[in-house]
Structure 1
Amino acid sequence: PAVIRGVESAGMVCSEKELGLSDYHEGIMVLAEDAPVGAPVASYLGDAVFDLALTPNRPDLLSIVGVAREVAALTGNTVREPSIEYAATGKPIKGRAQVQIDDPDLCPRYVAAVIEGVTIGESPPWMQERLIGAGMRPINSIVDITNYVMLELGQPLHAFDLSRLRRAQIIVRRARPDETLVLLDGSEQELSPDMLVIADAEVPVALAGVMGGLDSEINLNTTTILLESASFHGPNIRRTAVALKARTDASTRFDKGLSRHLPSIAAQRAVKLMVELCGGRAAEGIIDVYPGKTKDVRVTLTQKRLHTLLGMELPVARVRQLLSSLGFSCRWVPPDRYVVRVPYWRTDVSIADDVVEEIARVIGYDRLPTRRLRGELPPAWPQPRRDLRTRVADILAAAGMQEVVTYSLTSLEALSKVLAPEELSVHAPLRVANPMSQEQEYARTSLRASLLRTLADNVRHRDDFTALFETARVYLPRPDDLPEEVETVAAVITGRSPDRWGRPGGEPAGFYQAKSYLDLLFGRLGVSAEYAETEDHALLPGRAAAVSVDGRRIGLVGQVHPRVASQFDLEAPVAMFEIYYSS
C-alpha cells in the first residue's frame, strides 16, 4: 500500500490499456455496479482463450462455429447455430445496387446486401471483449460486426459506403495495367493484371480477399452500407497478398479454400447484427451472383475399405452415428456400402479415405487395434557407389574439411563462370521443364560453381583457413537420352594453414594444399594416382594437373584462376580439385 496525502491507499484507478485489456487509455475503466469488491480483476473480467494449432486443410476450423462442431462430435452435444433471421424493412435492393463478375474463375460467387439508416459508433462491450480475446482491435460498430462474423463463421466480409461507390455498382475483375489502389492501411499499391480487384463503375475500391480501399471506407457520416460476402480463388488471393506484403486475416482464410456456401449465410448473419446493433434497416432481398455453382459432394465408401483402413469392424449404426455427429449425412446401401453426403463446410473431404479418417478421428487413434509387423525383413542389396560416397566423405571430414550440400540445379550464368564456352556449346546442360527460378534452371555438369559460391559466402564472415567439399552427382548430357549421372567429389580450399597456436601462419592455399588432400584420400582408398600437367578454363596455367588412375583420367586438381575467383568475389588464392570417383 502507498500513502497518498496522509491516507493509506491499497489500489489505483486504471484505464483498459493499463490493465492490458485494450489500447483505450482516454479514461479510467468503470466496472458494473454488481462487480464484487475485493475479487481479483482476472476472475471478474477474465475469460478462457484457447490458442489452437490448425492444419492448412481445415479452413472450417478458423471459426468459432467450426471448433464448436468438433467439440460437439467429441462430447455428444449439439451445435447451436447463430441466428440469421432478420426483418427486411427497407426498400427492395433491386435497382439500388448492381454486381457484375467479369472473372468468374477468380470469383465464383459474390453476395451483396444493403443496410440503410445505420448509426456508426462503438460496438457493445460484449462484442469488443470477444474481439480483443481473439486478438483483434475494436474499431467501430460496422467493422466490428464484419470481424465478429468472420471469427464466428469463418467468412471474411467487407463493408462499403454505398454513397461512395460510383453508380452504386460493383464489378469484380482483374486489375488493369498501371492501376493503383490506396488500401485502408494508407499504402498505395501498384496492381498487376493477375490481381483481382473489386471496382465500382470507374476505379478499384478494394483488393479482393485482402483489404478494402481507402476511397470507399465507411466513416462516422456513413448511413448506407453495401455489405460484401464473396468466394474467391484461394491461390490467387495468396499470390496477391504475398506479392504486396499485405497478409490479413481475410487473405489467410481465403487462401485455404473456403466453402462457396458460406457467403450467403455470413451475409445474413451480419445484416441481422447491423439491424439490431446499429439501428439500420435491411433492404428487402440480397444480390447473389453465383456463376461457379457446384453440386453437393457425395462419397461412396465400401464396408471392405472401411474395415481395411481401420483394422476393425464397426456396426452400420455406429458408423452412421459417428458421421452424423460431424455433420455428414450417411445412407446405408445394402449389401456393402455407404453413400455419404459431405457438409458444405468440409472442403477437405472428397474421397472415401477422407471419410474413414473422420471416423477414426472421432473413435480415437489410440483405440484402433495395433499389430506387430509380420514377415521377413528384405535382404540388403549391395550399393557400392553409395558406400564409396560415404567412405570418401568420412575420409575428407576426418582430414579436417567441412562437408556442404548444395542444390543440384544451377544457372547457365554460374556454369559459364567455371566452364569454357566451347564446352558449354558442345555439351549443353540439361534444362528442366519447369524451373523454380532462374538460379535453378539447369542440371549442373560440375560442382565448381556451387562450391565457389558457398566458399564466398563463408569467407565473407571469416578470414581463417577454410576447406569445403561436396560429394554429389553431376549430370552429363547424352544425345537422345537421359543425362549420365556421375558420382563426383569436389573441394575448394583458401586461407593460410594454422600454426600450432591456431593462427594463420603457413603459405596461402595452393596447388600442393589441394594435392595433399587428394593424396590422403587415394592412400586411404588404396588407389595409386598419377598427375600430369594440363590446362583448364577455371584453373591457373602451370598450376593445374590431370588426375589419372590406371591410365584413365578421373579428374583434375589445381589453383583457381584469379579471373574465375573474382567473379565469385574471392580475393585470396583458392585451390580446388574435382574427381569423378564412380569411374
Structure 2
Amino acid sequence: MKAPLSWIKDYIDVDGLNIEQIAHCLTMVGLEVEGIRLVGLPKPEAERHEFKYEGLTWDREKFVVAEVLEVLPHPNADRLVLCRLNDGTQELIILTGAPNLYPYKGKGELAQTLKVAYAREGAMLYDGHQPGQVLTKLKRAVIRGVESFSMICSEKELGISDEHEGVIILDADAPVGTPLVDYMGDAVFDISILPNMVRDASMLGIARELAAVTHRELRLPQGIPLPQGDALSKRVSLEVLNPELNPRFMLGMVENVQAQPSPYWVQRRLNLAGMRPIDALVDATNYTMLETGEPLHAFDYDLLRKRAGGNPPSIITRTAQPGETLTLLDGTVQPLDERMEVVADSAGPLSLAGIMGGMDSGITSQTQHVLLEAASWNFINIRQTLSKLKIPSEAGWRFSRGVHPALAEQALRLCLQRLLAWGGGRLVEGVLDAYPLPPQDPVVTLTEEEIISRLGAPVSLEEAAGILERLGFECTLQEDKLSAKTPPIRLDIGEGLIGKASLVEEIARIYGYERIPSKRLAVELPAPVFDTKLEAEERIREILVSLGLQDTVAYRQTSPQREARILPNQSIDPKHEYVRIKNPITPDRTVMRTSGLATMLELLEYNSKFRPSLALFEIGPVFLPVESQLLPNEALRLTVGLAGLREIPTWQTKTPEQRDFFDLKGVLEALLKGLHIPEVNFRPTERPTFHPGKCAEVLSGERVLGVFGELHPMVQEHYEFEALPVLAAELDADLLVALSRVEFEHQPLSNYPAMVEDIAVIVPEEVSAAALEAAIRQAGGKLLVNVRLFDIFRGEKLGLGKKSMAYQLTYQAFDRTLTDKDAETIRNRIVRALAREFGAVLRSQ
C-alpha cells in the first residue's frame, strides 16, 4: 500500500520526526516499509539510510507556486501559447503547449487567475516527453521564434504521476511565490500490509499505529451526522437475504450532484496512493476507502429507477442464480454461480458484492443522483469468489481479509460529506441500515504475570493499558486484572487463550521488540522426544536419495478421471468412494487422491518432456473414506517411478541401455535391505495397470508390502511419455515403517580370506530364481556367506523348457582359512540338494 506523508499528517502531528524515523517506527510495529518515494521533499541527512529512496527533490529556489494572469496566442504556432505569469517576484512570459490552457487563450486578463507549479531556469526535473523518468535541466532555448527558459510543470515532470498531457492547475488558495516543496512536497511510503493487519490498510490505520508507538494524539475525521427522516425509504427499499454473507448494508443518497473534477489536492493524493482520479463522485468513494479501509460503491439512482420501470428500485443482497452473468465496470462479462453473493434489484445483479460494481448501474459523467452503498461481507465468501473469477480489486483485497461492519457507518458519513463538498448537490433525508448480524467485540482479561511470562519484559498493567488504549481498546483495571474490549475496527482478536495471545502480541509490537531483553533459558532443555515414525520416513528418503532417486511432492487433490488413467479402459467405478472438496482450486481437482501411483505417473509424464532419464519417488498420504466416520484414513504410500535411459549419454556411453523391470526391482531390494525388513521375497502377480508378465508383489513373509512393474502399453497411451519404458511401484509406507528395524543384528567381518567359485545349473523353466537361491543358501550352511545370480542362458543345446542359471558362491569361515576340500564339500552338498529338489544338473557335466 502507498501512503503519502501529507495524508498521514491529517490525523497525527509528526513534528520532530523525519521521514526515516517514521519509516522505522512503522516497520517495527509490523507495517514494513519496502521503499520511500520522494515527491519534492529532500532526502533525510544521515550517514547510513535504512530504507531505499527514489524520486525527485524540488529545489526551493527553482520550484515555486505561480499564477497565470493571461493566456496569449503564440505568434508562430497554433499549438503553443504564451502565458503572462507572476512567480511572486516578477511577471514573465512563459511558453507552453499544455492543451488544458487552450480554453483560456485570447480571453484577456483572467478574472480568476490559474495557480500553477512553476520551474525556473536551471531546475532539475523529469523530461515529460521521454518514456520513464529521465532527468533533465531547464536551459534557455528559442522555440518557434520565442525564447523559453522556464516552464509550467505537469505531474510527470514533478514526479507525481505519469500524466503529462496538461499542466497542473493548483487549487485557488495556493499562495503565490511559496516554494513548491513547502506547499505540496511529499514522501510516499510503500508499505507491505500483512494479511492479519488489514485494519491498517488505510491512512487512518497507519496513523493509528504511528500515534500509538510515538505517544501522539490521533485526530479522527468526523464526517457529517447521518440525515434523519424517511425520504430515502420512499425512494428505495432494502432487503438482506443472507445475513451470514452480508452482516450489514447501508444506503445514503445525494441528489443534484455534478461529476466535475475533484480539488487538485484530492487528485494529487489519489495519484500518490496509486489510484487514478476520475471525477468528484468516483474520487469521493476511492478517497474514503483509502482513508478508512472501508470500500464503498456508488450507484446512479436514475439508472436504477429506469431498470425498475420508473418505480422506486428495490436493493436486494442475495446469492446469484444459476445462469446469471454480470458485466463489471472493467468491461468483463463474468459468469456467476449460486455461491457468489451479489447486490441485485428486480431486474438482476447490479454488482459483485464486495468486489466490483456493474456497468449497467455505475456512475457516469451524466450522473445527477448518487445512491451510496457502505456494507460488510463474509470474507471467506469474497475470497472464494475472487479465487474463482481472478478479478483484481482494491475492494475485494480488503473484504477478503475481513472488514468490521462498524466501519460502514464511519465511511458513509465521510463519503456523503465529500460528495457534497466536491460534487455539490443536496443530501436526501434518511439512511437505510440493515444490520442483521452485528459482531460481538471480544473482551479479553490479562494479568501482569501473564504479560511478563509471555513477553519476558517488565510491562506493568498500567503501561499495557496505555498501549492498548492508544490502539483503540477500551481498558479497565480492576483487582490486578486488565480487561480490554476490542475496538469496533478489528476482527482479528479472538477470545480465551487466543485472545490473550493476540493482546500480548499487540502490547509487544507497541512496547518495542527491540526493548525486550535477551535472556538465557531458566531451566535445562528437556530430553528430546523422537518421532520414530518420522525417523523411519526420513530413513526411506535417505536410502532412495543415496540410490540416485529424486524426492518429489505431488498434488493431493485429483479427480476420478485423473485416477482412472491408470486403468487400460479408463473406467470409473461408481462404487469407489472419494473425499470430495467443497471449494476445489481447479475444476479438475475436486477430490482427494486414493492412489499415489496416479500422481506419480503424472509427474513422470510432465518431467519426461525435459529429461531423458527419470528416477523419482514420493512419500505422501492417500485419503481413504471410512464409513460412518467424518475424517478419512490418511494412509501413507511410497511411490517410485523410473523412466527412460539407465544413465545419461556421455562420450563413453553414447547409447545407454533403457531401464527395465530389474532396475526397479533392484531399487526396492536395496531399500528393503537398508530398512532391515525381514523375510523379503517377490512373487509374480497381475494388475490392470502393469504389463502382464512384468509385474510382481513384494512381501515380507506373507505380508504384501506393495506392487511394482512395467506400465501396461494401453495405460502408456493415456499419457504423453517422452521417456520409455515406464516403471512404477506403490508400497504401503505405513507397513514399511512398522517393519523397519532401528536395532538389528550385524555380522562382524572375518579375519580369514574368502573363497569364490561359480556354478551353473540346468533347471526346468518354471523354477524361479528366488526358490533356487533359497535352496542354495539352505544347503550351503553357515560357510556360504553370499550368493549372486550373474547369468541366465536358454538355448537348443539345453533342451526344450530348460534354462541355465549361473551363480557366484562365496565361502568364508570366522575361525580358519577354508581349503579346497571344504569348498568341494559345500559345493557337492548344494548340487545334491538342487538335484533332489528341482532336478537340477550341473552344466559342466
TM-score for the superposition, normalised by structure 2: 0.60
TM-superposed CA distance for 1:317, in Å, is 3.2
Query: Which range moved further: 15-24 or 236-245?
Result: 15-24
Equivalent residue in structure 1 for 2:509, among 335, 358, 361: 361
Range with bigger deviation, 410-419 or 110-119: 410-419
Letter in 2 for 1:507: E
What pairs with 1:324-335 in structure 2 (closer than 5 Å)?
Answer: 324-333=469-478, 335=479
1:506 aligns with 656
Task: Give the deviation of 1:3 after TM superposition.
Answer: 5.5
1:468 correspondence with 2:619: no
Q: What amino acid does structure 2 have at the position aligned with 1:498?
A: I
Equivalent position of 2:643 in the other structure: 493
Q: Distance in 2 between matches of 1:117 and 1:475?
A: 62
- Kept in 1: contact 2:161–2:272 (CA 8 A): no
Provide the residue aligned with 1:156 in structure 2.
Answer: 295
| Correspondence for 1:48 among 167, 170, 187 | 187
The offset of 1:179, in angstroms, is 2.6
Matched-pair contact (CA < 8 Å) for 2:249–2:435: yes
Q: Which amino acid letter does the alignment assign opposite residue 468 of structure 1?
A: L
Within the alignment, does 1:202 sit opposite 2:340 as a pair? no
Distance in 2 (alpha carbons) for counterparts of 1:296 and 1:552 = 58
Other-structure match for 1:456: 605
CA distance in 1, matches of 2:590, 2:375: 38
Flag the 1:557–1:279 CA change in 2: closer, same or farther, 3 A: closer
Which of 110, 115, 131 is the equivalent residue of 2:270? 131
C-alpha distance 59-479 of structure 1, shift in aligned 2 (>3 A): closer
Determine the C-alpha separation between the residues in 1 that align with 2:347 and 2:562.
48
Moved more, 410-419 or 289-298: 410-419
Is the counterpart of residue 404 in structure 1 residue 548 in structure 2? no
Give the one of 386, 391, 405 matched to 1:241: 386
**Equivalent residue letter for 2:726:** V
In structure 1, C-alpha distance between the alignment counterparts of 2:624 and 2:169, rounded to whole Å: 77
Counterpart Cα distance in 1 of 2:474 and 2:693: 81
SS, match of residue 491 in structure 1:
strand
C-alpha separation in 2, matches of 1:248 and 1:72: 29
- What SS class does the counterpart of residue 69 from structure 1 fall into? helix
Residue 219 of structure 2 corresponds to which residue in structure 1? 80
Would the aligned equivalents of 2:376 and 2:403 in 1 still touch at CA under 8 Å? Answer: yes
- Cα separation, 2, equivalents of 1:476 and 1:315: 53
- Asked if the contact 1:89–1:282 (Cα under 8 Å) also holds between the matched residues in 2, the reply is no
Match of 1:348 in 2: 492
What do residues 255-299 of structure 1 show as CA deviations (whole Å, max 9, x unaligned)?
222122222221111121222222222123322232223555433
Alignment CA distance shift 1:89-1:505 (3 Å): same
Offset at residue 150 of structure 1 (A): 0.8
Alignment partner of 1:27 is 2:182 = no
SS at match of 1:567: coil
CA 1:45–1:443: 2 relative to 1, 3 Å: same
Q: 2:312 aligns with which of 168, 171, 175?
A: 168
Using the TM superposition, give the Cα deviation of residue 78 of structure 1 relative to its aligned residue in structure 2, in angstroms: 0.8
Identify which range, 476-485 or 496-505, moves more after superposition.
476-485
Matched residue, 1:568: 719
The amino acid across from 2:200 in the alignment is L
Once the two structures are superposed, what CA deviation does each residue of 1:482-532 show, in whole Å capped at 9, x if it has no partner? 869566463323235334427751232222333444455567677896555
Q: Equivalences for 1:253-264 in 2 at 5 Å?
A: 253-264=398-409
What is the alpha-carbon distance in structure 1 between the residues aligned to residue 701 and residue 444 of structure 2? Answer: 66
Give me the whole-angstrom Cα distance separating, in 2, the residues matched to 1:517 and 1:224. Answer: 76
Higher relative contact order (CA 8 A, sep 6+): 1
Tell me how far 1:450 sits from its aligned partner: 2.5
Q: Tell me the amino acid that sits aligned with residue 602 of structure 2.
A: R
Aligned identity (percent) is 36
- Kept in 2, the 8 Å contact 1:478–1:484? The answer is no
Distance in 1 separating the partners of 2:446 and 2:676? 62
Residue 143 (structure 1) aligns with: 282
Structure 2 counterpart of 1:340, one-letter code: A
Partner-residue secondary structure (3-state), 2:193: coil
1:437-456 counterparts in 2 under 5 A? Answer: 437=584, 439=589, 441-442=591-592, 444=594, 447-456=596-605
Aligned to 1:558: 709
In 2, the alpha carbon distance for the partners of 1:359 and 1:75 equals 14
Deviation for aligned residue 1:132:
0.4
Separation in structure 1 between the aligned mates of residue 386 and residue 272 of structure 2, nearest angstrom: 25
Deviation at 1:186, TM superposition (A): 1.6
Is the CA contact 1:395–1:521 (under 8 Å) kept in the aligned structure 2? yes
Q: Secondary structure at the match of 2:489?
A: coil
Work out whether residues 430 and 483 of structure 1, in 8 Å CA contact, stay in contact via their aligned partners in 2.
Answer: no
Q: Is the 8 A contact 1:474 1:488 kept in 2?
A: no
Instruction: Specify every segment of 5 or more residues in structure 2 that has no aligned partner in the other structure, as ranges.
Output: 1-138, 306-310, 740-845
Is 1:102 matched with 2:254? no
In the superposition, relative to structure 1, how do residues 340 and 557 fare at CA in structure 2: closer, same or farther (>3 Å)? closer
Q: Deviations over 1:350-404 (max 9, x none)?
A: 3341223222222112323443234444445666665554444334333333222
Change over 3 Å in CA distance of 1:375–1:436 after alignment to 2: farther
Gap change, CA 1:215 and 1:487, over 3 Å in 2: closer
Which secondary structure does the structure 1 equivalent of 2:211 belong to? helix
Which amino acid is the alignment partner of residue 608 of structure 2? V
- Does the C-alpha gap of structure 1 residues 567 and 293 become closer, same or farther in structure 2, counting only changes over 3 Å? same
Alignment-mate amino acid for residue 317 of structure 1: E
Measured after TM superposition, the shift of residue 30 of structure 1 is: 5.8
Q: Report the alpha carbon displacement of residue 409 of structure 1 after superposing the two structures with TM.
A: 6.2
Cα deviation for residue 147 of structure 1 reads 0.6
1:93 aligned counterpart, secondary structure: helix
Question: Counterpart of 1:269?
Answer: 414
CA spacing shift, 1:136–1:399, aligned 2, 3 Å: same
Aligned partners of 2:226 and 2:413 also within 8 Å: no
Which SS does the other structure have where 1:138 is aligned?
coil
Are 1:289 and 2:423 matched, yes or no? no
What is the CA–CA distance in structure 1 between the aligned matches of 2:566 and 2:380, rounded to whole Å? 39
Give, in whole Å, the separation in 1 of the partners of 2:464 and 2:561.
60
Q: Tell me the SS of whatever aligns to 2:187.
A: coil
How far apart, in 1, do the equivalents of 2:166 and 2:636 lie?
74
Q: Distance in 2 between matches of 1:391 and 1:285?
A: 71
- 1:109 and 1:397 mapped to 2: Cα distance? 56
**In the aligned structure 1, how far is the partner of 2:531 from the partner of 2:404?**
50
Indicate the RMSD between aligned Cα atoms, in angstroms.
3.9
CA distance 1:114–1:510, shift in 2 (3 Å): same
- Normalising by the residue count of structure 1, what TM-score does the alignment of the two structures yield? 0.85
Taking a change above 3 Å as real, the CA distance of residues 374 and 269 of structure 1, as seen in their structure-2 partners, is same
Distance in 2 (alpha carbons) for counterparts of 1:432 and 1:87? 51
Question: Which segment drifts farther, 183-192 or 400-409?
Answer: 400-409
| SS of match in other structure, 2:381 | helix
Shift of 1:430: 7.1
Cα 1:7–1:364, aligned 2, differ >3 Å: closer, same or farther?
same
* Conserved? CA contact 1:86–1:271, under 8 Å: no
- In the other structure, the counterpart of 1:337 is 481
**Corresponding residue for residue 251 of structure 1:** 396
Q: Give the structure with higher Rg (CA).
A: 2
Deviations 1:467-495 (A, max 9, x none): 22334566889999986956646332323
> What letter matches 1:242 in structure 2?
S
User: Does structure 2 retain, via aligned residues, the 8 Å contact 1:475–1:485?
Assistant: yes
- The answer on 1:218 being equivalent to 2:363 is yes
Summarize deviations over 1:326-364 as a string: whole Å, max 9, x none.
22221122x232332222112222334122322222211
